[in-house]
Chain A
Amino acid sequence: MTREPPAPTPPPFELVCPAGSLPALRAAVEHGADAVYIGFRGATNARNFPGLNFSWEEAATGLAHAHAQGVRVFAALNVYPGPDNWALACETVDRAAALGVDALILADPGLMAHAAQHHPELRLHLSVQGSATNWRAIEFYRREFGIRRAVLPRVLSCTQVERLVARTAVEIEVFGFGSLCVMVEGRCALSSHVTGHSPNVQGVCSPAQAVRWEETPAGRQSRLNGVLIDRYAPGEAAGYPTLCKGRFEVGSAVFHALEEPTSLNALDVLPRLIAAGVRALKVEGRQRSPAYVAQVTQLLRRALDDCLADGPAWRPPQDLTTALDGLAEGRTHTLGAYHRPWQ
């Protein structure tokens, strides 16, 4: 029997990349991720999409591969289980712990209590789905369950992130790139209102089975469970009908009333985030292809290495930003709440 390699020691600042499959995990590891995060099949994590996520065998293979390359593996079990799937959620925690994942990413306090009680040695990370937007909420999870890291919702300004980091002993991980939630993660029931399925319960938002595309004389239309989410002029690029990114009518105006289809790119504030003491930069996108994961990981690895070498004066070079825009939803990016142009 081969000896398992020891758990990798993390660098002071980690690049955390998504892996929805074994090939995506290999791509992230190969292109410079310090850690990857995965989910298991079934409704235990917030990217519960068909064809996505890991069987136990795949997870074991992925873990061995990542550890051999010095890369940590985090497992997301970040739905809020109800009585019907409580036993499955606990069993998944237990099996993930036995597998030897480097951390569990949890949102549900009850499930955290289970993990803290039965696997006291296991690192717990508070998922973005835990909606912790202030140090006192994070302190609740630290005091009750000993969480070691919290992933911040994508609603805080850069200054708020800086102040929060200064007030907490818990490591802070923030989103750096990928699709953007404009709502506080874990505090959004828009999807279940329209489709009956939500991020909190089923681990999905605006699920594909509720989407319908139509070609009409007025243009291509997207519907979610019958509700018209958007209508596109001929030649206009049509995006996935995530319901908060549709065009709606308010008063007499038709516009993206909640959010434009655009991606988050935090590289403009990366030096500030590092200087503030943020410990990890997270890339969204477990639903993305291995090729996407490879490209994004490679670009962000380069950005991070350059930024760490150059210090506070570093700014993202134009070719890097252009390359990332090419991979982004809507082919454009925003600093989102970090900068708050709408503030």
Chain B
Amino acid sequence: MKLSVGPILYLWERAAALDFYASLCTAPVDIVYVGEVVCSKRRMLTREDWTAVAQRLAAAGKEVVTTTLALLEAESELATLGRQINAASGPFEANDYAAVESANGREFVAGPHLNVYNAATLALLARLGARRWVAPVELPLATLATLAVTRPAGLEIEVFAYGRLPLAFSARCFTARAANRPKDDCGFVCGAHPDGLTLHSRERQPFLALNGIQTQSAAVQNLLPHLPRLRTAGVDVLRLSPQSRDFLDVVRAFDDARQARNGPGLPDTFLSGGYCDGYLDGRAGMERAASAAAATAPP
């Protein structure tokens, strides 16, 4: 199985983002997704920065995929989309059907926000140029395994294996709302939350994470304990979603596991929501049924 690094879903400082990508050059990952998925206003990295990052990663032997916005409303966002697709030297990740429409025969990755739930949609996208499919986060592994059997020839399957789950998009910026700021004068307050802003229930249960117009899970989905099942189901690529700390430890733990090598394993998550993996078995995503059962199983 290959390891991919998903796009940075948060607004990181330019230096932090550049350091992060530099560190990936020597990390045991195969694919790196670069670019912005969440908010068109975020421009911490310039177009030249992104080009340099992509060249550096490619020179280090990584497959570089340019990702694109999930919510496209304004004409300017469509124009940027077209420019990004044209400028990408390799494949791009489509997260809206506007991007699929703009492919024009180019190869692309069908991103997690395209809502692919069946073989007919998968076949359609493959005919239009998709060569990899990132499954929707809520898709159970059993469904994915069924689709893997009849998948179009050559199509790779990628799953969101580690990170706070991207659950929803809105036109409204919830981080700005929490800071009592209008969206047009947001002051880029999301930059203060490099792993999202945790939302708790009134019983202090970490529940969701606000990330601009995106809502995530507070818990980190962690599929590391399930790698053998993922492999059997036909998964080709494991996506690790960037977080501000310990990311290379996460990469190493997954790399050890995919090579059946002993290692220190995964560090405890520094995020307050703990781990979850309920979606894997078609349960509530926030549940931790599978890994909890594994952890408490008699020796």
Q: How far is the CA of A73 from the CA of B162 in the complex (A)?
A: 45
Known contacts A160-B73, A254-B202; A227 and B169 CB within 8 A of each other: no
Q: Contact flags (1/0) for A108-134 with B, using CB distance below 8 Å?
A: 111101100000000000000001111
Could you tell me which B residues sit within 8 Å of A by CB distance?
A: 70-75, 77-78, 81, 96-98, 100-102, 113, 115, 117-125, 136-139, 143, 146-147, 165, 167-174, 176-178, 182-184, 197-205, 207-208, 210, 215, 217, 278-279, 282-287
Can you list 17 contacts pairing A with B, beta carbon distance less than 8 Å?
A82-B143, A83-B143, A110-B124, A134-B72, A137-B72, A140-B100, A144-B124, A183-B170, A184-B168, A184-B171, A188-B168, A192-B138, A193-B285, A194-B284, A227-B286, A257-B177, A340-B183
| Assembly CA distance A128 to B3 (angstroms) | 35
Tell me if A193 and B169 are in contact (CB < 8 A): no
List, in ascending order, chain B residues with CB within 8 A of A189's CB.
136-138, 165, 167-168, 285
The distance from the CB of A147 to the nearest CB of chain B, in whole angstroms, is 12
Determine the residue in chain A with the shortest Cβ distance to B165.
Answer: A193
Say yes or no: B96 contacts A137, CB within 8 Å: yes
Q: Are A228 and B203 in contact (CB under 8 A)?
A: yes
Please give the distance in Å from B245's CB to the nearest CB on chain A.
Answer: 21
Query: Do A110 and B119 form a contact, CB below 8 Å, given A184-B168, A189-B167, A248-B202?
Result: yes
- Closest residue to B179 on the A side, CB-wise? A251
Q: Given A110-B124, A184-B71, A82 and B117 touching (CB < 8 A)? A: yes
Cβ contact within 8 Å between A80 and B98: no
Enumerate chain A residues within 8 angstroms of B119, measured Cβ to Cβ: 83, 86, 110
Q: Cβ of A247 < 8 Å from any Cβ of B?
A: yes
Query: Within the complex, what minimum Cβ distance (angstroms) separates B82 from chain A?
Result: 9
Known: A131-B115, A134-B72. A108 touches B121 (CB 8 A): yes
The complex places the Cα of A3 from the Cα of B138 at a distance, in Å, of 47
| Chain A residues in 8 Å Cβ range of B96 | 131, 133-134, 137
Tell me the smallest distance from the CB of B12 to a CB of chain A, in Å: 21
Assess whether A196 is in contact with B282, with CB atoms less than 8 Å apart: yes
- How many whole Å from A34's CB to the nearest CB in chain B? 28
* Complexed CA–CA distance, A270 and B1 (Å): 54
Q: Using CB atoms, name the residue of chain A closest to B178.
A: A250
Chain A nearest CB from B163 CB (Å) reads 14
How many pairs of residues, A versus B, come closer than 8 Å at their CB atoms?
208
Bound together, the chains give a CA A201 to CA B137 distance in angstroms of 12
Interface of B, helix, strand, loop or mixed by DSSP: mixed
Q: A337 within 8 Å of B by Cβ?
A: yes
Residues of B within 8 A of A110 (CB): 117-124
* CB nearest to B221 among chain A residues: A193
Interface residues of A in 302-343 (CB under 8 A from B): 337, 340, 342-343
Q: Which residue of chain A has the shortest Cβ distance to B218 in the bound complex?
A: A193
CA distance A107 to B146 in the complex (A): 21
Which residue in B101, B122, B167, B279 is a CB contact (below 8 Å) of A137?
B101
Docked Cα-Cα span, A231 to B201, in Å, equals: 10
A248 CA / B210 CA spacing, docked (Å): 12
**Is residue A253 within 8 Å, beta carbon to beta carbon, of the partner chain?**
yes
Give CA–CA (A134, B71) in the complex, Å.
9
**B170/A200 in contact, CB under 8 A:** no
Contacts of B167 in A (CB 8 A): 188-190, 193
**B123 cross-chain contacts in A, Cβ below 8 A:** 110
Identity of the chain B residue whose Cβ is nearest the Cβ of A144 in the assembled complex: B124
Q: Would you give the shortest CB distance from A252 to chain B, in whole angstroms? A: 11
Q: Taking the nearest CB of chain B, how far is it from the CB of A190, in angstroms?
A: 5
Q: Which of B171, B215, B278, B285 contacts A155 (CB 8 A)?
A: B171
- A75, chain B: closest CB distance, angstroms: 19
A108 to B287, CA, bound (A): 28
Minimal beta-carbon separation of B287 from chain A (angstroms): 8
Closest 9 CB pairs of A and B: A110-B120, A110-B121, A155-B171, A136-B98, A193-B285, A140-B101, A80-B117, A188-B168, A137-B97
- Distance to closest chain B CB from A79 (angstroms): 9
Are B199 and A186 in contact (CB-based, < 8 A)?
A: no
Answer whether A249 and B200 are a contact pair too, CB < 8 Å, given A192-B138, A227-B205.
yes
- Set of chain A residues within 8 Å of B71, measured between Cβ atoms: 133, 155, 184, 187
B255 to chain A, nearest CB (A): 28
Q: Is the CB of B210 within 8 A of A250?
A: yes
B284 touches A196 (CB 8 A): yes
Q: Is the CB of B113 within 8 A of A187?
A: yes
**A140 to B99 alpha-carbon distance, docked (Å):** 9
B residues in contact with A156, CB < 8 Å: 73, 171
- B189 CB to closest chain A CB (Å) equals 11
Q: A183-B168, A192-B138 are in contact. List 20 more A-B contacts (CB 8 A).
A: A82-B143, A83-B119, A86-B119, A107-B115, A109-B125, A110-B121, A131-B96, A134-B77, A134-B98, A140-B98, A141-B97, A155-B170, A160-B74, A187-B168, A189-B285, A193-B284, A193-B285, A198-B138, A250-B210, A258-B215
Q: By the criterion CB–CB under 8 Å, are B205 and A86 in contact?
A: no
